[in-house]
Amino acid sequence: MEARIDSIKQKLHAQGYKLTPQREATVRVLLENEADHLSAEDVFMLVRDKAPEIGLATVYRTLELLTEMHIVEKINFGDGVARYDLRADSDKHHHHHLICINCGSMSEIKEDWLGPLEEKLEQEYGFQVLDHRLDFQGVCAKCQSEQATN
Amino acid sequence: MEARIDSIKQKLHAQGYKLTPQREATVRVLLENEADHLSAEDVFMLVRDKAPEIGLATVYRTLELLTEMHIVEKINFGDGVARYDLRADSDKHHHHHLICINCGSMSEIKEDWLGPLEEKLEQEYGFQVLDHRLDFQGVCAKCQSEQATN
DNA sequence: TTTCCTGCAAAACCTTTGCAGCAAC
DNA sequence: GTTGCTGCAAAGGTTTTGCAGGAAA
């Protein structure tokens, strides 16, 4: 935990930014909720517990800064709010989402299934892939068994 | 063209909805610009040429209706506006996007590369896949050659 | 008549921006 | 003292909603 904070602090310093108390509180919230996909509002409410005087605009500005630094990833599931994920320490992110259209739950798959596809893309289309995003919509196992019960 | 309008008309009628002149104008715009990913505002401006008295709210309501009927797909590239794509006549959509981070161009790949992955998902995770979305971010061939020139 | 649909305007919503004050170096 | 950061409030942009009128069955 502290090591990751330090690592982020150094990344910011390398670009001339400071890890202010507000920014640190925001980063800690992201670290403590790494499994979730928090919206800016979510982050704001959680940060408030640690730093009650913080403003929503600062949270937005921090999330934008972290996105630019590739420390977090801004994702959009189509519900009108942006969500933010801490990136793994590796530069590329390799996780996919399973979104249940019944209960709304979202789970992650950490495997990378797209390596061969990316090679194909570069060869056949001349497109240099830097990142990708893969989401599946469907019905999760839990909802399937509940539907079977009814 | 007329056949596809008819097909959509029947889908609507099957659910008790009418294909009003405003809705038809909207559908025609989508059909005529199938290659693009139009925002609601884009659709609105194009529809206006055919039906000048139409309101933006009606376009939104129509696009929402068509989305619910699975006639169009609402997608979100993270720029803050929803975009709408006509779905192919087959129920599943199988195209992927290549988004160039340099020039912003977007091209489509119509192949379906994910069939095997979806089977794997159903078997290993018990997740019933209904749809998916796959986008790649990177640098397109054109921008790569321009960068090489500089 | 009853139901659905429309246009307009207002509201809601998320996000960004302007600005004055503050903190750090 | 300069620079960057913050909080607040206001503005911005997209999308939704309320409502009265209109069209269709």
Dihedral (Cα; B127, A105, A54, A47), 10-degree rounding: -80
Q: How many Å does it take to go from CA B139 to C1' D7? A: 39
3-class SS of residue B139 = strand
Residue among B79, B95, B80, B98 at smallest CA distance from B131: B95
In this complex, is the C-beta atom of A106 within 8 Å of any C-beta atom belonging to chain B? no
Distance A17 CA to D5 C1' (A): 10
Q: Residue A94: what pLDDT?
A: 65
Q: What is the pLDDT of residue B94?
A: 65
pLDDT by residue for chain B (150 residues), tens only, comes to 889 999 999 999 999 999 999 999 999 999 999 888 899 999 999 999 989 999 999 999 999 999 999 899 898 887 889 999 888 765 556 678 888 777 767 788 877 788 888 888 888 889 888 778 888 888 888 888 877 665
Beta bridge partners of A134: B134
Quick one: which residue's CA is nearest to D14's C1'?
A: B81
A141 contacts in chain B (CB < 8 Å): 125-127
> Is strand D within 7 Å of residue A53 (CB)?
yes
| pTM assigned to the model | 0.79
Q: For residue B13, what pLDDT is reported?
A: 94
pLDDT of residue A118: 87
CB pair distance less than 8 Å for B134 and A129: no
Q: Report the run of H or E that residue B75 belongs to, with start and end.
A: strand B72-76
List of domains in chain B:
1-90 (1.10.10.10), 91-150 (3.30.1490.190)
Confidence at residue A10, expressed as pLDDT on a 0 to 100 scale: 94
pLDDT score for B79 = 83
Q: Rounded to an integer, what distance in angstroms lies between the CA atom of residue A10 and that of residue A7?
A: 5
How does DSSP classify residue A139? E
Nucleotides of D under 7 A from a protein CB: 4-10, 13-18, 24-25
Q: What's the pLDDT score for residue A64?
A: 96
Residues of chain A with pLDDT under 70: 89-94, 104, 148-150
| Closest CB from A129, A136, A138 relative to B136 | A129
Is B132 a known ligand-binding residue? Answer: yes
Is B94 part of any known ligand binding site? yes
